[in-house]
Amino acid sequence: MRIVLLGAPGSGKGTQAKLMIEKYGVPQISTGDLLRAAVADQTSLGMQAKAAMDAGQLVSDDIVLGMIRERLSESDTDDGFILDGFPRNMAQAEALDAMLNSLGKPLQLGLLIDVDFDVLMQRLTGRRTCESCGQMYNIYSSPPKLDGQCDKCGGTLHHRSDDNEETIGSRLRVYENQTSPLISYYRNQGKLRKVQGVGEIGDIFTAVNKVLADMPSGGEAPVAEKPAAAVSSPAVKEKKESKPKTAKKKKASKKKSTKKKAKKKVSKKKTTKKKSKKKVAKKATKRKATKKKAKKKAKKKATKRKATKKKAKKKATKRKATKKKATKRKATKKKATKRKATKKKATKRKATKKKAKKKATKRKATKKKATKRKATKKKATKRKATKRKR
Ligand code: AMP
């Protein structure tokens, strides 16, 4: 089994690959996993890849192709492999074909897991992976029984750093621009098959298994994608001529029969030609209709995508406005508090001043009283002295 899993980030390639490993015993090769391991181990390759990964951009082809070449040379891939997240652009797809063809093990299938654009965003933001066993969850659609803990092994659930709204946006754009052309690439090779990636995981896996059951053993096109084999026309039984009576008659009759045969042959050729012309025309009409349908679908998808984008923008603007309002409210509150504090301070200052004034007035009155008392005393003393003199 030598297959490539195609699909946007969040389409469920990893989940299906895990089920395929269990059933078919071939390894899954995920360039995303390999790169994340390199980043975690802080290898020089990981350091080089980190910035692009954090930005949701593609890591350079050199790095990824080197990694794939090395991985495919390992013996566990002898009986096949499931490539997940690789190739991601035309150059990688062509390099992979060259690599596999030179090994005499051409790719058998490009399996597309098709999911609508707007479903992807929720899937990606809610995605959680067990750090220990790799089991995947989604907090919206398939949450674990205990928050942040793996049902299977009890391991801690991890939220990928590039599964945030901003990075997801650019990853989806990168898919649209660089990876989705690979769908046509494999279709043109007759190797493309598609399953709908929405619904129960088990049902999707059943559809995947059906496709895999039809998979050819070599690198030839899968049965459903193969053009229908030309049906050989049954031999035309010639009518036996009645026996000629004389040799001359016999000869003439033979000549006639040959002529008739030739005529029939020409007519048959003409019919076949006509038929094949009709077939070609029919095929062209069908192709045209399919193209039209695909165009319509793409247009619908684009409109939907645009609407989603518009919605997201509107949401962001609303969020911004709410934030601005909150900031303004905070600032107004702060100002009011400050004003209150200033007023309180001024009142306090006034009270202190009033108190001081009162104290001063009291002090003055006391002093005045003392002066008065002194003057009275002096007067009394003077009066006493005058009396004594007399
Ligand atoms: P994935 O886990 O497949 O979504 O990949 C995570 C990130 O790793 C991507 O957003 C890219 O930055 C990087 N990556 C994975 N596979 C490839 C590839 N084949 N080519 C370039 N970059 C890749």
What are the start-end ranges of the H helices in the chain?
Answer: 13-24, 31-40, 44-54, 61-72, 90-102, 117-125, 165-174, 181-188, 201-213, 247-389
Indicate if ligand 1 lies below 6 Å from the C-beta of 58. yes
Q: Please enumerate in sequence order all residues whose Cβ is within 8 A of that of 176, keeping only pairs 6 or more positions apart, or say none.
A: 8
Q: What is the mean pLDDT of residues 309-337?
A: 86
266 pLDDT higher than 50: yes
Nearest to 187 by CA among 310, 78, 290: 290
Mutate to test the pocket of ligand 1, among 31, 34, 168 (most ligand atoms within 8 A of CB): 31
Per-residue confidence (pLDDT) for residue 311, from 0 to 100: 81
Helix (H, G, I), strand (E, B) or coil at 227: coil
Query: Is the separation of the CB atoms in 216 and 223 below 8 Å?
Result: yes
Q: What is the mean pLDDT of residues 328-338?
A: 89
Indicate if ligand 1 lies below 6 Å from the C-beta of 56. yes
8-17, 58-67, 231-240: least confident range: 231-240
Per-residue confidence (pLDDT) for residue 275, from 0 to 100: 61
> Is the pTM above the cut of 0.75?
no
Per-residue confidence (pLDDT) for residue 226, from 0 to 100: 37
Nearest to 116 by CA among 316, 315, 302, 290: 302
Indicate if ligand 1 lies below 6 Å from the C-beta of 32. yes
Atom number of ligand 1 nearest to Cα 13: 3
Per-residue confidence (pLDDT) for residue 6, from 0 to 100: 96
Q: What is the mean pLDDT of residues 171-193?
A: 94
H or E stretch at 192: strand 192-196
Per-residue confidence (pLDDT) for residue 90, from 0 to 100: 97
Indicate if ligand 1 lies below 6 Å from the C-beta of 65. no
* 31 CA to centre of ligand 1 in angstroms: 6
* 185 CA to centre of ligand 1 in angstroms: 19
Helix (H, G, I), strand (E, B) or coil at 138: strand
Write the pLDDT tens digit of every residue in 90-105: 999 999 999 999 988 8
Q: How confident is the model at residue 123 (pLDDT cuts 50, 70, 90)?
A: confident
| Measured CA distances, 313 to 55, 172, 290, 307 (Å) | 20, 16, 34, 10
Per-residue confidence (pLDDT) for residue 276, from 0 to 100: 60
Between 47 and 296, where is the model more confident?
Answer: 47
Active site residue 193: no
What is the spatial distance between Cα 109 and Cα 26, in angstroms, rounded to a whole number?
Answer: 15
- 88, 123, 191, 193: the catalytic one is 88
Active site residue 88: yes
- 13, 71, 128, 193: the catalytic one is 13
Active site residue 320: no
120-124, 174-178, 193-197, 281-285: least confident range: 281-285
Query: Is the separation of the CB atoms in 14 and 136 below 8 Å?
Result: yes
What is the spatial distance between Cα 162 and Cα 142, in angstroms, rounded to a whole number?
Answer: 20
Tell me the range of 149-153, 288-292, 330-334 where mean pLDDT is highest: 149-153
Question: Identity (one letter) of the amino acid at 245?
Answer: K
Q: What is the mean pLDDT of residues 41-49?
A: 91
Active site residue 239: no
The residue whose CA has the least distance to atom 15 of ligand 1 is: 32
63 pLDDT higher than 80: yes
Indicate if ligand 1 lies below 6 Å from the C-beta of 128. no
Write the pLDDT tens digit of every residue in 241-252: 333 334 555 666
Q: Please enumerate in sequence order all residues whose Cβ is within 8 A of that of 35, keeping only pairs 6 or more positions apart, or say none.
A: 46, 49, 53, 59, 63, 64, 67
Residue written as tokens 């709204």?
A: 165
What is the spatial distance between Cα 142 and Cα 131, in angstroms, rounded to a whole number?
Answer: 17
Our CA dihedral for 131, 137, 143, 145, rounded to 10 degrees, sits at -40
Active site residue 13: yes
Query: Is the separation of the CB atoms in 81 and 26 below 8 Å?
Result: yes
Q: What is the mean pLDDT of residues 301-326?
A: 81
Per-residue confidence (pLDDT) for residue 231, from 0 to 100: 26
> Considering the chain, what is the average pLDDT of its residues?
83
Indicate if ligand 1 lies below 6 Å from the C-beta of 59. yes
What is the spatial distance between Cα 164 and Cα 127, in angstroms, rounded to a whole number?
Answer: 10
186 pLDDT higher than 90: yes
- 50, 105, 160, 305: the catalytic one is 160
203 pLDDT higher than 60: yes
For residue 87, cis peptide bond before it (omega within 30 degrees of 0):
yes
| Measured CA distances, 269 to 93, 202, 240, 262 (Å) | 43, 52, 22, 10
Show the 3-state SS of 316-355.
Answer: HHHHHHHHHHHHHHHHHHHHHHHHHHHHHHHHHHHHHHHH
* 154 CA to centre of ligand 1 in angstroms: 28
Mutate to test the pocket of ligand 1, among 54, 59, 92 (most ligand atoms within 8 A of CB): 59
Write the pLDDT tens digit of every residue in 357-387: 999 999 999 999 999 999 999 999 988 888 8
Per-residue confidence (pLDDT) for residue 245, from 0 to 100: 39
Indicate if ligand 1 lies below 6 Å from the C-beta of 35. yes
What is the spatial distance between Cα 104 and Cα 98, in angstroms, rounded to a whole number?
Answer: 10
Parallel, antiparallel, or unpaired: how do β-strands 28-30 and 81-84 relate?
A: parallel
- 2, 71, 123, 171: the catalytic one is 171
Between 76 and 255, where is the model more confident?
Answer: 76
Q: Please enumerate in sequence order all residues whose Cβ is within 8 A of that of 240, keeping only pairs 6 or more positions apart, or say none.
A: none
Per-residue confidence (pLDDT) for residue 239, from 0 to 100: 29
Per-residue confidence (pLDDT) for residue 232, from 0 to 100: 26
Indicate if ligand 1 lies below 6 Å from the C-beta of 45. no
Nearest to 80 by CA among 146, 29, 152: 29
* 49 CA to centre of ligand 1 in angstroms: 9
Question: Identity (one letter) of the amino acid at 92?
Answer: Q
Between 14 and 273, where is the model more confident?
Answer: 14
Atom number of ligand 1 nearest to Cα 57: 12
79 pLDDT higher than 60: yes
